[in-house]
Amino acid sequence: MRNNREEQREGLKQRLVDAAEARIAAGGLNGLKARDVTADAGCALGALYTAFEDLDRLILQVNSRTLARLGAALQASVVPGHGPRAVMAELAQGYVGFALQNFRLWAALFTHRLPEGIEAPDWHRDEHAVLIAQIIAPLSKLRPDLAGAALRQRALTVFAAVHGVVMLALTARFVATPREQLPGEVAALVEAMTRGLEGRGLEA
């Protein structure tokens, strides 16, 4: 016997995630169709629903991959030995670069919505930690008064601010920041934010 069931099953899942990733990268989340991915993966339409609960769960797998790559990109963007404000700036630019170079997959992270009332599984929720993990250390240096949950919360706010600028620039239907100005605007925001954070507490 050459193939046990487990291997076949994993192989199919793999091909489906590969195909879905390629489809999203090429045509965005809205361009992802069950009939297309299954055709690309070389299986019947119904096979998708033996491998995953539904199309949303397949997208979750793609987003999982993207988050892992994003985490690696952020890690690679910080220069060891630099001060907290420099690290913040590097992380922000790393984020901008990733979003620009992986636009549709990155956008899928934030535009995908599960049906109302259905929550993402815990293992996937936890993967989003990479978005703020690298921010915590430099932020802690800028704001030594923060720790634990409060520090993590503020790191999320810092991320959200940068993310908002990138998101609006790349997906807005109205007056948007031109792409070539995006790195500069993000830099200005991070500079202002970190400068404001740094000064805080000195005179109070």
Partner DNA sequence: AGAAAATAATGAACGCCGTTCACGAAACAA
Partner DNA sequence: TTGTTTCGTGAACGGCGTTCATTATTTTCT
Residue 54 partner contact from a second copy, DNA, none using kind-dependent CB cut-offs of 5 to 8 Å: DNA
* Residue number with CB closer to a second copy (41 or 193): 193
* Residue number with CB closer to a second copy (1 or 204): 204
The span of 9-17, 32-40, 76-84, 114-122 binding a second copy (CB under 8 A) equals 114-122
| Least CB distance to DNA at residue 62 (A) | 14
Can residue 116 be called a binding residue for a second copy (CB under 8 A)?
yes
Of 113, 117, 123, 148, the one binding a second copy by CB under 8 A: 113
* Residue number with CB closer to a second copy (137 or 188): 188
Region 25-84 residues binding a second copy, contact defined as CB under 8 A: 27-28, 30-31
* Residue number with CB closer to DNA (5 or 113): 5
* Residue number with CB closer to a second copy (12 or 91): 91
| Least CB distance to a second copy at residue 101 (A) | 20
| Least CB distance to DNA at residue 24 (A) | 12
Give whole-number Cα distances, 85 to 142, 158, 190, 195, in Å: 8, 12, 8, 8
